[in-house]
Amino acid sequence: MTKTNTFEITGAVASRDLFSLPPPAADKGVPLMAALKERRSARTFSEEPVTDQQLSELLWAANGISSSPETHEDKGLRTAPSAKNHQEIELYVFLPSGIYLYDTLNNQLALIRDGDHRSSAGRQPFFEEAPLSVCLVADFSKMGNYLEKKRAFFSGLDAGYVSQNIYLYCASEGLATVACGMINRKLLHPLLKLEDAKAMLSHPVGVRKI
């Protein structure tokens, strides 16, 4: 499998509407027990970029489709479980060139908003330093007829699984991350053009600054 390190996506290039991500490599990484031991929250980020390949793998590990096309029914099954298989957790990626929505089925990033909004992904100053952040959004429109309280409860649980997947991929890849619930939803919701949805957590991701 060829490793793309072109930084076409993760670099500060002029934004395009659609980026195809390189295929994620499913046959790599440290043993699960080692990743669990290494998992830690980190809050300092160097200027070193995350590669396009790592971004693809990060998103797939977080909540990508893991069932084979032959066996999966209509929408497939994901690396993270979700209540009633609602699959309501969407991933928004903050890069220097713009904010993108991860299209899981097509392994693509679709532009939501142009420009560098990384500092808006969270309230803490390290969001400005991290080369990218992933915001986990619960799309309530995918939760069928669940009442509000049930939506809030189950989407909170479902976001937790995705967050742990991000932590474990980062631990395996030697990247730094931290789950952040302290985010500015009043700012984020219009920025991400959200309706009937809630920003749950943001994860800055990068190489740890020592």
Ligand X SMILES: Cc1cc2nc3c(=O)[nH]c(=O)nc-3n(C[C@H](O)[C@H](O)[C@H](O)COP(=O)(O)O)c2cc1C
The residues binding ligand X (CB under 6 A) are 40-41, 43, 124, 178-182
Distance CA 15, CA 114 (A): 7
Distance CA 95, CA 123 (A): 17
CB of 116 to ligand X, least distance (A): 21
CB of 181 to ligand X, least distance (A): 3
Q: Are 100 and 93 in contact (CB under 8 A)?
A: yes
CB of 101 to ligand X, least distance (A): 22
Distance CA 100, CA 81 (A): 23
Of 16 and 40, which CB lies nearer to ligand X in the complex structure? 40
Q: Are 137 and 101 in contact (CB under 8 A)?
A: no
CB of 9 to ligand X, least distance (A): 26
Residue with CB nearest ligand X? 182
CB of 109 to ligand X, least distance (A): 25
Give CA angle at 46 (93, 138), nearest 5°: 20
Helix axes 148-173, 52-63, angle to 10 degrees: 140
Distance CA 162, CA 170 (A): 12
Q: How many CA atoms lie within 13 A of 166 on its CB side?
A: 29
Of 15 and 118, which CB lies nearer to ligand X in the complex structure? 118
Of 109 and 183, which CB lies nearer to ligand X in the complex structure? 183
Of 41 and 85, which CB lies nearer to ligand X in the complex structure? 41
Of 181 and 190, which CB lies nearer to ligand X in the complex structure? 181
